[in-house]
Amino acid sequence: MSDRKVVLVTGCAKGGIGFEYCKAFAEQNCNVIASDIPQRMDDMSELQENQIETLEIDVLSDISVSSAVKAIISKHGRIDVLINNAGIGSTGPLAELPLDEIRKAYEINTLGQLRMVQQVVPSMATRKSGVIVNIGSVVGKAPTPWAGSYCTSKAAVHAISNTLRVELKPFGINVVLVVPGAIRSNLGANNIEKLSNYKWELYKDFGKEIAERARASQVGKSTDAALLARHVAKKVLSPKPPKQIVFGHMTTLFSFLSVSPLWVRDLFFTKRFNLDKKL
């Protein structure tokens, strides 16, 4: 059995942060397995050229996750690190966004991570070793208007991670919560594309602001995804991985907002997204 760390990453299509996580861990001489849904397997071909394995995993499917984890353990003997990266954006006012869309955000961003955890933990617990890395968000700490479904799905990831960190300690498993700020990826473009599916009624006068929120993390001084990935890889592979990794543009602002009085936070977001307009 190789001494190289076996790292499984979910959500690795090109253009996303998972793609960069794979390259960053490979640079650290890890044996990386990149995964995504069947429809996106072609988007990982470049990773194969870098000696990174690719594997189909649909985090919505118990069968897909279970069979993939078993295949990896059968081939490599273990999974040392799980990077729970698979996720989707979700933009729109909570009072009008279809429940099916909100449910999809929770199914992928929250339950998808937990589904992966439940499958890798038994093997890690047997070996008394392993690291689970759950990807949260700064908006999981301070939710914003027009993205409530995404924010709450990530807030749940924070709560799950904080619970798992304590529950898995007796088994020698470390749990790391990554809290990225504004990171450049294809998330913003995907968010904008999905907005064309909706026609707001109550919020028809806020179309410009909703679209601005959809692309908010991709403009200005947003952090390059490769920088985040390299930072996370080094921290996760250290002898004592940190409990939390906060990195990227706007993390300082959101840390401040998360501990501010609610009236301060409300005032900031009201002004930022023009919610003080008279209708």
Residue 107: give the domain boundaries.
6-272
Buried b (16+ CB within 10 A) or exposed e, 40-63: bbebbeebeeeebbbbbbbbeeee
Whether residue 279 is contained in a domain is answered as: no
Whether 102 is covered by a domain: the verdict is: yes
Question: Which 3 state secondary structure label does DSSP give 266?
Answer: helix
3-state secondary structure of 60: coil
Q: Closest Cα to residue 12, out of 30, 37, 31? A: 37
Digitized pLDDT (tens) for each residue of the chain, 279 residues in all = 578 999 999 999 999 999 999 999 999 999 999 999 999 999 999 998 888 999 999 999 999 999 999 999 999 999 999 999 999 999 999 999 999 999 999 999 999 999 999 999 999 999 999 999 999 999 999 999 999 999 999 999 999 999 999 999 999 999 999 999 999 888 767 777 888 788 999 999 999 999 999 888 777 789 999 999 999 999 999 999 999 999 999 999 999 999 999 999 999 999 999 999 877
Report the predicted TM-score, pTM, of the whole model to 2 decimal places.
Answer: 0.95
16: domain CATH number is 3.40.50.720
CA-to-CA distance for 248 and 196, rounded, in angstroms? 29
Strand partners, 102: none
Q: Could you give the 3-state DSSP secondary structure of residue 138?
A: helix
Domain assignment present for 241: yes
Residue 1 maps to a domain: no
Pairing mode of beta strands 173-180, 223-224 = unpaired
Residue 14 lies in a domain: yes
* Beta strand pairing call for 130-135 and 173-180: parallel
Look at residue 254 and tell me if it is in a domain. Answer: yes
Does 117 reside within a domain?
Answer: yes
Task: For residue 107, tell me if it sits in a domain.
Answer: yes
Per the structure, how many domains does the chain have?
1
